[in-house]
Amino acid sequence: MTTKRPTTKAPAGLGSAGRALWASILGDLAPDLELDHRELALLERACTSADRIAELEALLERDGPMTSGSAGQPVLHPAVAESRLQKTTLLQLLRALDLEGDGGRGTATSQRGRRGAASRWGYRQSPENQKREKGD
């Protein structure tokens, strides 16, 4: 007889990007693993950050990366910097979860998952981390 892990519903108030991240992280957990309260809190913050990134990307898609400054000069849209900060925050929160528990290397599936998440959220790994994941 197998026991099925109870599903943890996404917190109320998350947008579609946050709910998708929540489902992805919990769906990829090994059947014998559960997140504790600290990890769930980190995951919730990461999902909120994912929502903010999606909102900022939509704003930039609508307005473009440039806006007018106080004297009418073109300046970088403030959402560009905030989006960058939110992406950094998201990555830090996901690293803090340390879901692999094996020094960060993970299985081939988790490595593919990390690369997919990195691609989706705009993160580019350092050459050292790329070599480490490939096993070089």
pLDDT tens by residue, 17-60: 999 999 999 988 888 888 889 999 999 999 999 999 999 999 99
- For the chain, percent of residues with pLDDT exceeding 90: 57
Q: Are 28 and 113 in contact (CB under 8 A)?
A: yes
pTM of the model: 0.68
In whole angstroms, what is the distance from residue 52 CA to residue 32 CA? 31
pLDDT at res. 133: 56
- Compute the average pLDDT of residues 69-80: 96
Q: Retrieve residue 77's tokens.
A: 């849209």
- Per-residue pLDDT, 8: 80
Angle at 54 between CA 33 and CA 120, to 5 degrees: 60
**Given a cut of 60, is residue 75 above it in pLDDT?**
yes
Single-letter amino acid, residue 110 = S
